[in-house]
Structure 1
């Protein structure tokens, strides 16, 4: 049952003028990272691997994990509010299908609008869905990071390798004052 399904064909809301991009920290050391996983297979292991790499290589202070219960629903407002209070930056993903890619982008835009830098991760096969949602949310060109499709069938070592490969772009997206081009 869907209570708040995101419809990428509905167009932007009347108030969607495109939220401002949240200010970026210069570095990630000492910061708390939010990890927003969807229920797709390997989304949590991917984000956990990125969280571990951020701690090891960039000195982040810790992570706050949450898992959405639906691939299509937006992040619940209470969860968004909690992560905004507790986290300095947020990673969202992994968009490994059309619906979850669109939802991940909508969530990223919501965090940016709330003042928290967000990095969304989608697999490269779903750029069209991710870009469509960004346009429909009033944020054309919204920057996100892609990893090769598919992610779901990979073993643990391959998931960690994908996370390692995505890390430089994720760090750039979270810390760059100038947005990287949508990928």
Structure 2
């Protein structure tokens, strides 16, 4: 049974303000990373690999892992509040179907509105769903990272390679571009 559903015909609610973007740090060094996975196969493995790479290559300090129980529902308010209080940045994914891609974008926008920089990861087969959710929420052009579809049937080694390939885009979404930071 659904506790909450995203209505693609409605305007933003729940405190999501169109155009709201959290300020970006110049570096991820010392940051606490929130990893918000959905219930899709390999989502947790993908985000764990991203978290490990962020720590090894960008000096993040810690990770807070959470898993949504539904691929279609928005991040529950208590989980949004918990991650917003405990984390400096959040990585969300993996949108590997139409409804979970839309939900991931909605979650990214909710974190941004809460003041937490977010990077959303969706598979490239579902950019239409992700873009549609961004448009419905008044965020046409919302940037997220894509990875090749599908993610669910990959081996652990293939998932880690996908995470490595996605890492530059994730870092780019979470930080101020080098020219802007200078």
Shorter-normalised TM range: over 0.9
- 1:16 is displaced (CA, Å) by 5.7
Q: What TM-score, normalized to structure 2?
A: 0.94
Aligned-pair distance for 1:6? 1.2
1:16/1:138 contact within 8 Å kept: no
Q: Structure 2: any 5+ residue segments left out of the alignment? A: none
SS of aligned partner of 1:94: strand
Measured against aligned partners, the alpha-carbon deviations of 1:136-183 in whole angstroms (never above 9, x if no partner) come to 1111111000000000000000000000000001001100359xxxxx
Is residue 92–residue 121 contact of structure 1 (8 Å, CA) maintained in 2?
yes
CA contact (8 A) 2:16 2:110 kept: no
- The answer for the alignment partner of 1:131 in structure 2 is 131
The whole-number CA distance in structure 2 between the counterparts of 1:38 and 1:147 is 16
Q: How many residues align?
A: 177
Contact preservation (8 Å) 1:19, 1:112? no
Residue 64 in structure 1 maps to residue 64 in structure 2: yes
Task: Judge conservation of contact 2:38–2:67 (CA < 8 Å) in 1.
Answer: yes
- Structure 1: gaps (5+ residues): 179-183
For residues 19 and 83 of structure 1, the distance between their equivalents in structure 2, rounded to whole angstroms, comes to 21
1:41 match: secondary structure? coil
Is contact 2:17–2:113 with CA below 8 Å preserved after alignment?
A: no
Distance in 2 (alpha carbons) for counterparts of 1:17 and 1:23: 15
Decide whether aligned partners of structure 1 residues 16 and 37 sit closer, same or farther in structure 2, where only a CA change above 3 A counts: closer
Q: Distance in 1 between matches of 2:177 and 2:10?
A: 29
CA distance in 2, matches of 1:159, 1:63: 19
> Does structure 1 conserve the Cα–Cα contact (< 8 Å) formed by 2:121 and 2:146?
yes
The answer to which of 16-25 and 114-123 deviates more is 16-25
Quote the residue 2:174 is aligned against.
Answer: 174
Greater mean alpha carbon deviation, residues 89-98 or residues 15-24? 15-24
CA contact 1:19–1:109 (8 Å) conserved in 2: no
Residue of structure 1 in register with 2:159 after alignment: 159
Q: Deviations over 1:80-108 (max 9, x none)?
A: 00101000000000000000000000000
- Paired residue for 2:118? 118
Q: Check conservation: 1:23, 1:177, Cα contact below 8 A.
A: no
